[in-house]
């Protein structure tokens, strides 16, 4: 049996879908469904068990699992409850790491590109403790992920006991089906699709940095199928451990993203530029780009989906249908 924490969430539910499609029905999901319709992400899935958040550690007692895929987290970059975020993203992660160490269970967990902060220290996935300590996350979410990365890396550096395979994945800007419960944390494709389809103009932030045009702020946008492919590759390559970036390695602008959306709809682009709220101007990221050389050295050789093709698949396969769920 496999356990996917956060298995009803965005990346987690796509992992569950991929495992089911590969013939695995022995997948247990741990998550909090709430009352916002998050259950739709699992409506087409076959589960071996569903584990409520409060029951997870008790459920694990005496279990033998093939792997723990720890995708669960408070992932909002605007979260402000430090105690809740650290308990979810750091404390629980440590307890799962300890359980996997004790039971010799492979452990693959979601880190985040938010650990890189404004990018001043670069985007190389060097997981030595000294390199990780140079990173300065800009928000509580990034800090919590950074704290766990560092805790794992310190154990590895000291040659402490760890699971037979341990992997942290620094996901960059992932987009695709089943992200609809994320509200403001949804990708811009999902947030702006209905407006674009209705012929309304899409609004992007103006630039406040010399040499960067309005809408040309860049991110490493990665289609969710590629993120899942990395997880599946690592599950099938138990000799690989470490912390790796998950992105395309090619930054693209928000303007490019919206042009891809209009193209997928077969419509002429309508883009307007608006003022960026003063509260975020000083901490706004103008550029992120994954260095994927570590992942390539580990043996992941698959091509990443282009921005245009990812948006096209998302629009035609999900957003432009009555049932948008995978």
Catalytic residues: 141, 182
User: What CA–CA distance (Å, rounded) separates 94 from 289?
Assistant: 28
The Cα 309–Cα 251 span in angstroms is 15
Residue 94 burial (CB count, 10 A): 13
Task: Name 194's Cβ contacts closer than 8 Å, sequence gap at least 6.
Answer: none
Structural Rg of the chain based on CA atoms: 19
Residues 6+ apart with CB under 8 A from 118: 136, 138, 283, 285
H-state helical runs in the chain: 10-21, 56-60, 82-86, 92-103, 129-133, 140-157, 188-197, 224-235, 254-265, 278-281, 293-297, 307-314
């Amino acid at each position: 049996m496999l356990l996917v924490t956060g298995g009803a969430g965005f990346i987690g539910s796509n992992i569950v879908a991929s495992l089911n499609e590969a013939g695995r029905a022995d997948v247990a999901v741990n998550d909090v469904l709430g009352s916002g319709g998050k259950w739709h992400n699992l409506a087409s899935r076959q589960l071996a068990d569903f584990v409520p958040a409060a029951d997870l550690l008790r459920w694990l007692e005496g279990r033998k699992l093939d792997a723990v895929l720890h995708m669960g987290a408070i992932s909002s970059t605007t979260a402000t409850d430090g105690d809740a975020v650290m308990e979810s993203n750091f404390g629980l992660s440590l307890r799962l790491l300890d359980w996997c160490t004790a039971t010799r269970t492979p452990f693959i967990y979601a880190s985040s590109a938010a650990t890189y902060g404004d990018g001043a220290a670069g985007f190389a996935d060097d997981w030595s403790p000294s390199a990780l300590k140079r990173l300065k996350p800009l928000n509580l979410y990034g800090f919590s992920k950074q704290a766990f990365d560092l805790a794992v890396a310190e154990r590895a550096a000291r040659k402490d006991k760890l699971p037979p395979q341990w992997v942290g994945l620094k996901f960059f800007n992932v987009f695709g089906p089943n992200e609809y419960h994320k509200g403001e944390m949804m990708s811009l494709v999902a947030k702006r699709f209905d407006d674009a389809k209705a012929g309304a103009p899409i609004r992007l932030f103006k630039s406040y940095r010399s040499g960067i045009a309005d809408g040309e702020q860049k991110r490493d946008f990665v289609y969710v199928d590629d993120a899942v492919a990395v997880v599946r590759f690592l599950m099938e390559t138990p000799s690989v451990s470490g912390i790796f970036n998950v992105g395309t390695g090619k930054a693209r602008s928000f303007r490019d993203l919206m042009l891809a959306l209009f193209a997928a709809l077969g419509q002429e682009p309508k883009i307007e530029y608006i003022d960026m709220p003063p509260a975020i101007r000083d901490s706004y990221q103008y550029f992120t780009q994954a260095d994927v050389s570590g992942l390539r050295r580990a043996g992941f050789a698959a091509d990443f989906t282009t921005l245009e093709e990812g948006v096209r698949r998302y629009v035609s396969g999900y957003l432009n249908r009555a049932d948008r769920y995978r």
